[in-house]
Structure 1
């Protein structure tokens, strides 16, 4: 592979190839520097990905670097949570893979992004259905904007270990713009992938293609911590 980007390592214990429905795909990580607020996403993609992508590939871009370049990253100490955010965050289940809305600052940003009525509805429904053993209703109702909010975790690369990062704005339009930038017949997807699963926030794929991509990336082969691989390529092997 040529260009400024370098091949990164797979997430611990994960392979860089996967077979799905009889077809084998390579998942190629691209190691980069840390994306900072003020960086231009198009310039970043030109620097690290354009020379790596071939016709027939799919370039996937983590939602976090898209959001950061859009100015949607906020230092934790700049977020002043309201009392409702403190209250609601207590009832969010935290996982080792991401704090989600389980801290007042991230919950506050969810209230701002999604609107207080929607978050209250999601919390109310989830409280009822959770009592019957059903999980996931909060994010189903709150939507992708709430699901995509990232707070700091132990493995988060500085300076984002002290920041709240929102989901990207207009991810489908971003994917379309980056596809045109690549200059070859390749697709692009903005993804939210972690060790619990994944979502495609915007892409140049159809629905079937997005569903297949989620399956290809389901085991989070590139990681989400210090691997520094916010870009990756899916290539038929």
Structure 2
């Protein structure tokens, strides 16, 4: 079932002279314990065509891998409380700006790496440079999702980590769907995007980031965790 674009966003875009349709796929809310393969077959198999690119949000991959944790099960250490105060918050997501998400970053990435990222960021931020914390902390830290005002229940009371083995997941889903198509596991928001794993080469991934950089599907109540990119 097709969904709607994120508010104010178009469903077509032109990149390097080529027009692409971005087709949202509306689904039910993915729950812990759901089988990703069955979910993809249910919602995407009849929607994709040869030549399409199916993109899957990293959050649903992670949830089906058991990487969603209720806030009340996470006990942040004092270091997490301290570090979370200094994370830049944006209107598009809490990131590591709350003790529970910072605690999970310390567990995922290791305390030394997070401390090093925080130390470098503190210095470079004083010189007007931003983004060094996540550059050093890495994709695992960047992919951690905390609740925002637009988060669909029950994840408005949860922290979701990044997915494990996203490249392998993309390859498996491509094989599952069959035919001439590509698959990508993506982390897209209003600040930009990353391709965590795909069946494409680096040039294809770079092009996909350009196609999706305006975040056409949204991350909240749109309930569109899958989408198709199709040559216009």
TM range (shorter): over 0.9
**Partner SS, residue 14 of structure 2:** strand
The partner residue of 2:6 within 8, 11, 14 is 11
Corresponding position of 2:72 = 77
Cα distance, 1:96 vs structure 2: 1.1
Number of aligned pairs? 232
Structure 2: give runs of 5+ residues left out of the alignment: none
Instruction: Determine the C-alpha separation between the residues in 1 that align with 2:82 and 2:182.
Output: 42
Instruction: Determine the C-alpha separation between the residues in 2 that align with 1:38 and 1:120.
Output: 34
The question of 1:220 aligning with 2:219 is answered no
1:56-135 equivalences under 5 Å are 56-135=51-130
RMSD: 0.4
Cα distance, 1:51 vs structure 2: 1.0
1:32-51 equivalences under 5 Å are 32-51=27-46
Instruction: Determine the C-alpha separation between the residues in 2 that align with 1:133 and 1:50.
Output: 47
Flag as ranges the 4+ runs of structure 1 deviating above 2 A.
none
**Partner SS, residue 179 of structure 2:** coil
Normalised by the length of structure 2, the TM-score is 1.00
**Partner SS, residue 228 of structure 1:** coil
Normalised by the length of structure 1, the TM-score is 0.97
The question of 1:160 aligning with 2:159 is answered no
**Partner SS, residue 36 of structure 1:** coil
Cα distance, 1:83 vs structure 2: 0.3
**Partner SS, residue 158 of structure 1:** coil
Structure 1: give runs of 5+ residues left out of the alignment: 1-5
Corresponding position of 1:3 = none
Instruction: Determine the C-alpha separation between the residues in 2 that align with 1:108 and 1:33.
Output: 29
The question of 1:209 aligning with 2:204 is answered yes
